[in-house]
């Protein structure tokens, strides 16, 4: 059973009709417990068990965009930007994994893929965060040795599979018995096999380092201090690079 958690989204809204449209669309999703829109702050709070990517898609159906601003409690969320290390690919970002811990030993993983060849892919967490040689330098599946010692079927580092369709898109919402703090600094690999060996030049093998992400009310910035761009300018730039 998935524990409900809170998520906040930045959404451009001008009036109460916007709030009603957005709330109506989100409420069509299963597992929605609460929706609270803050018109002045341009924020929408959602509580439930739906995947953040599904909520973003529901908001986009109203003709508006949305940015995930935070999820879960402080120090309970993580994110991984998944890229190919192939030099033959212009847009290297091809996936995003959002993670939120909802109980002591339960983390939800919202994995979205865009741009891979059709087929079934494994999502695994690796022992190290070394991506200098792409997936090839990340080491073995996390806890693979420990699981063999205790005779369990799969190590906790094997998160599951995602099916990519003919348009190169795939999405899966996974439930893993791990804590977010155990994942920070490790890498995630999405590939057609879970054990390797991996080739750095394979455009269908993705890798990224898992980093801590903002909790539900931990991120209130609207302008990046590094680039000077607002969140929507950053969003446009990220989408152009393949970010989801």
Could you tell me what percent of the chain has a pLDDT over 70?
84
Q: What is the mean pLDDT of residues 230-235?
A: 54
For the chain, give every domain's residue range.
5-72+217-240, 77-213
Helix, strand, coil proportions of the chain in percent (round to 5)?
A: 15, 40, 45
Could you tell me the pLDDT band of residue 1, with boundaries at 50, 70 and 90? confident
Task: Give the CATH H-level superfamily of domain 77-213.
Answer: Superoxide dismutase, copper/zinc binding domain (2.60.40.200)
Say whether 77-213 and 5-72+217-240 share the same fold: no
Q: Quickly name the fold that domain 5-72+217-240 has.
A: Alpha-Beta Plaits (3.30.70)
Query: How much is the pLDDT for 104?
Result: 87
Q: What is the pLDDT of residues 78-135, one digit of tens each?
A: 999 999 999 988 888 999 999 999 988 899 999 999 999 999 999 999 999 999 999 9
Q: For residue 240, is pLDDT > 80? A: no
Q: What is the pLDDT of residues 3-53, one digit of tens each?
A: 899 999 999 999 999 999 999 999 999 999 999 999 988 999 999 999 999
Range in 55-69, 128-142, 217-231 the model is least confident about: 217-231
Query: How much is the pLDDT for 147?
Result: 56
Q: For residue 222, is pLDDT > 50? A: no
Q: pTM of the predicted model, to two decimals?
A: 0.81
Which span out of 200-209, 215-224, 228-237 was modeled with the highest average pLDDT? 200-209
- For residues 97 and 101, give the distance between their C-alpha atoms in angstroms, rounded to a whole number: 13
Q: 206 to each of 8, 113, 227, how far by Cα in Å?
A: 27, 10, 27
Q: What is the pLDDT of residues 135-159, one digit of tens each?
A: 999 999 998 876 554 455 789 999 9
Query: How much is the pLDDT for 149?
Result: 45
Query: How much is the pLDDT for 74?
Result: 79
- pLDDT, the chain, mean: 87
What b-and-e string marks burial along 18-36, b requiring 16 or more CB atoms within 10 Å of the CB? bbebbbebbeebeebeebe
- For residues 7 and 237, give the distance between their C-alpha atoms in angstroms, rounded to a whole number: 23
Q: Count Cα neighbours of 103 within 13 Å in the Cβ-side half-sphere.
A: 10
Q: For residue 211, is pLDDT > 60? A: yes
Give SS3 for 236.
helix
């Amino acid at each position: 059973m998935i524990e409900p958690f809170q998520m906040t989204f930045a959404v451009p809204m001008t009036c109460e009709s916007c709030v009603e449209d957005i709330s109506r669309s989100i409420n069509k999703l299963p597992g929605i417990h609460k929706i609270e829109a803050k018109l002045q702050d341009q924020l929408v709070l959602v509580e439930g068990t739906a995947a953040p990517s599904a909520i973003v898609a529901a908001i986009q159906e109203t003709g508006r965009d949305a940015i995930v601003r935070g999820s879960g409690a402080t120090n309970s969320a993580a994110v991984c930007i998944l890229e190919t290390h192939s030099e033959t690919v212009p847009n290297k970002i091809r996936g995003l994994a959002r993670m939120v811990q909802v109980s002591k030993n339960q983390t939800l993983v919202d994995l979205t893929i865009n741009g891979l060849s059709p087929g079934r892919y494994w999502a695994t967490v690796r022992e190290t965060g070394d991506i200098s040689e792409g997936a090839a330098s990340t080491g073995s599946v996390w806890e693979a040795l420990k699981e063999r010692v205790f005779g369990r079927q799969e190590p906790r580092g094997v998160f599951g599979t995602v099916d990519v369709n003919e348009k190169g898109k795939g999405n899966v919402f996974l439930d893993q018995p791990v804590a977010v703090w155990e994942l920070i600094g490790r890498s995630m690999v999405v590939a057609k096999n879970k054990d390797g060996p991996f080739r750095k030049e394979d455009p269908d093998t993705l890798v990224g380092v898992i980093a801590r992400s903002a909790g539900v009310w931990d991120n209130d910035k609207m302008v990046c201090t590094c680039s000077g761009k607002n969140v929507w300018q950053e969003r446009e730039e990220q989408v152009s690079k393949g970010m989801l």
